[in-house]
Structure 1
Amino acid sequence: MFDYRALEALTAVIEQGGFERAAKRLNISQSAVSQRIRQLEFRLGQPVLLRISPPRLTEIGQRLTNHLQQVQQLEQSLLTEEHPEQDVTVRLAVNADSIDTWLAPALAQCPVSQRMNFELVIEDQRIGLQRMKNGEVMACICESAQPVNGGLSQKLGVVRYLALASPDFIHNYAAGDRGHHWLQQAPCLVYSGDDQLQHQFLALLQLDAPGRFQRVPSSSGFVQMARAGLGFGMMPEIQVREFLADGSLVNVAPQHWIDVPHYWHYWQTESDYMVQLRQAVVKHAAECLL
């Protein structure tokens, strides 16, 4: 049988991005964290962690952290049966746009949401599944339909992204260009280095990657930067309807958009609480998403 304290230390190092912060999270010394992981590696005869900055799991390390997540879900299910009043922590990887639009009401509609302490991990929808692979989260919302080992996925719907900018921005940068080539030189808003929606949009127009960037790691801030005339970018239609209606944002290419599918990923060893949460999210998503 595995030493689950060692698996918890391994997961904490990945979640916290280092040994020192993992030690603080577990309320033990940094040397104790290192010792637990070394003992685990000695037993397995191979490394479970790449000691770089930030640390990364090896293949066997990913399998172990996945295993721990599933065991914890089983334990949670048993504990809540015996103590239904007990709170549970739900660590969920989601993209920022979902939080700023439809997700919060979906979480609130779960019958047992008052017993849940949500810990949301913000990741781009393209890469959020890596958190599941690392065994860091209990569920994940991302655009990939392919589940991780030991997991399943369920489609939530599609979010339509439009390329938008302010009228003044278009006036200043288009300069009479009847095509869309001006977009390659105009400032482009991106959420993070993992945000490729703007690149995909320009590729639809048969244009090269954008030449200038404004990095805005906030979903609502992204929209406000565009409204202020500081750049163009891809925004969820469900987030900007009022700004399209009042004219403060304009579609720079009305014939083009990007539909991004969203899937709920969960472990096969799903606890009763997580089943109820998934059902609430799926139901609300069906009402909000395409």
Structure 2
Amino acid sequence: MQFEQLRALAAIIDEESFEGAADALRITPSAVSQRIKALEASVGQIVVRRGSPCTTTEAGSALLRMARQVQIIEAETRAALGNGVAARTVTPVAVNADSLATWFVPFLAEAAGWADTTLDLRVEDQDHSSTLLRQGDVIGAITSDPAPANGCRAELLGHMRYLPAATPALSERFRTDDGLDFTRMPMLQFNAKDDVQQRFLNAHGVTETPPKHLIPSSEAFLAALRAGLGWGMIPELQLGTDLTDGFLVMLEEDAYQDVPLYWQTWTLKSERLNRITEAIRRASRQLH
């Protein structure tokens, strides 16, 4: 296998197609196809599933991880041999939406000063983001998975605390002599993978599924909560003064769920990866 072949593989996955990869690499789609065919011939396996978007096979995922690592090492080597300024390298990182909307922002402020890095943030639920790391799609992931992926290390950053909240009007509307009627009160859910609300309901013995609204945006989720569309588990870091100002109320005093967040990244020795890790550690000090 050759560097050009690995570059073509990474470009196809990043751009989601052979044509997009050709534009990014400034070569023809035919040249991209030839490089992938040569790569597949050298390893004796199919590495790319042709589709929309293109995805890697299991063998392709292993090669994609190598391609990402080669890109970082190559950029740092060129800088060491040149004028000391590394060319900008695309750095894909997986992060969950709630983190991106809250404690992760200071990391972005630090990254703004890096002349050698452009970020490619992949937003994925914290329970599933480590999958992107295992597939080679990203070089690091904010995840709730404590088990490091193969060839990676994991460190606990802290816990994101979620509080059950709603508007006072919605809470009163569904309050009964026995407490809140969670089977009838509408619930907000980030997406189909989001089960933090369901875990709260399970803890309260609620077996029926309440009406639910899917709100696939952290900012819109908070806006929907404030609008009274439903109740939801909201990150404490995102609430601001909503509770003290009375715009929202806790559905149950002292009730919360702490979700652990880990930073997983390769064990590769790299100044760039070390810098990213240190910046994420500093930003995560806001967590419990």
- The TM-score, its normalising length taken from structure 1, stands at 0.87
What residue is the counterpart of 1:203 in the other structure? 202
Distance 1:12 1:115, change over 3 A: closer
Alpha-carbon contact 1:11-1:135 (below 8 Å) kept: no
Superposition deviation, residue 5 in structure 1: 2.8
Q: What is the CA–CA distance in structure 2 between the aligned matches of 1:8 and 1:134, rounded to whole Å?
A: 16
Distance 1:8 1:189, change over 3 A: farther
Q: What is the CA–CA distance in structure 2 between the aligned matches of 1:32 and 1:210, rounded to whole Å?
A: 53
Q: What is the CA–CA distance in structure 1 between the aligned matches of 2:163 and 2:44, rounded to whole Å?
A: 51
Q: What is the CA–CA distance in structure 2 between the aligned matches of 1:255 and 1:117, rounded to whole Å?
A: 41
Superposition deviation, residue 67 in structure 1: 1.2
Aligned to 1:184, the other structure's residue is in SS state coil
Superposition deviation, residue 51 in structure 1: 4.1
Aligned to 2:240, the other structure's residue is in SS state helix
Q: Is 1:147 paired with 2:152?
A: no
Unaligned segments of structure 1, at least 5 residues:
none
Q: What is the CA–CA distance in structure 2 between the aligned matches of 1:216 and 1:259, rounded to whole Å?
A: 21
Aligned pairs, number: 286
* RMSD (CA atoms): 2.5
**Greater Cα shift, 104-113 or 121-130:** 104-113
* Residues 15-56 of structure 1 deviation map (CA, whole Å, 9 limit, x = unaligned): 344444444444444444444323322322222234455444
Match of 1:217, as an amino acid?
Answer: P
* Residues 64-112 of structure 1 deviation map (CA, whole Å, 9 limit, x = unaligned): 1111122222223223334433353332211121121111213434696
Match of 1:100, as an amino acid?
Answer: A
- Structural mapping, 1:69-218, within 5 Å: 69-81=68-80, 82-89=82-89, 90-109=91-110, 113=114, 115-172=116-173, 174-176=174-176, 178-180=178-180, 182-208=181-207, 210-218=209-217
Q: What is the CA–CA distance in structure 2 between the aligned matches of 1:63 and 1:132, rounded to whole Å?
A: 11
Alpha-carbon contact 2:88-2:115 (below 8 Å) kept: no
What residue is the counterpart of 1:8 in the other structure? 7
Alpha-carbon contact 1:112-1:276 (below 8 Å) kept: no
Q: What is the CA–CA distance in structure 1 between the aligned matches of 2:113 and 2:84, rounded to whole Å?
A: 10
What residue is the counterpart of 2:223 in the other structure? 224
Aligned to 1:113, the other structure's residue is in SS state coil
Alpha-carbon contact 1:76-1:271 (below 8 Å) kept: no
**Greater Cα shift, 104-113 or 127-136:** 104-113
Aligned to 1:285, the other structure's residue is in SS state helix
Alpha-carbon contact 2:10-2:68 (below 8 Å) kept: no
Distance 1:156 1:209, change over 3 A: farther
What residue is the counterpart of 1:274 in the other structure? 273
Q: What is the CA–CA distance in structure 1 between the aligned matches of 2:193 and 2:25, rounded to whole Å?
A: 30
Distance 1:177 1:110, change over 3 A: same
Q: What is the CA–CA distance in structure 2 between the aligned matches of 1:209 and 1:41, rounded to whole Å?
A: 50
What residue is the counterpart of 1:49 in the other structure? 48
Q: What is the CA–CA distance in structure 2 between the aligned matches of 1:243 and 1:77, rounded to whole Å?
A: 46
Aligned to 1:282, the other structure's residue is in SS state helix
Distance 1:17 1:193, change over 3 A: farther
Match of 2:133, as an amino acid?
Answer: M
Q: Which has the higher contact order (CA 8 A, sep 6+)?
A: 1
Alpha-carbon contact 1:143-1:261 (below 8 Å) kept: yes
Unaligned segments of structure 2, at least 5 residues:
none
Superposition deviation, residue 219 in structure 1: 0.9
Q: What is the CA–CA distance in structure 2 between the aligned matches of 1:267 and 1:168, rounded to whole Å?
A: 48
Q: What is the CA–CA distance in structure 2 between the aligned matches of 1:100 and 1:194, rounded to whole Å?
A: 18
Alpha-carbon contact 2:75-2:87 (below 8 Å) kept: no
Match of 1:143, as an amino acid?
Answer: S
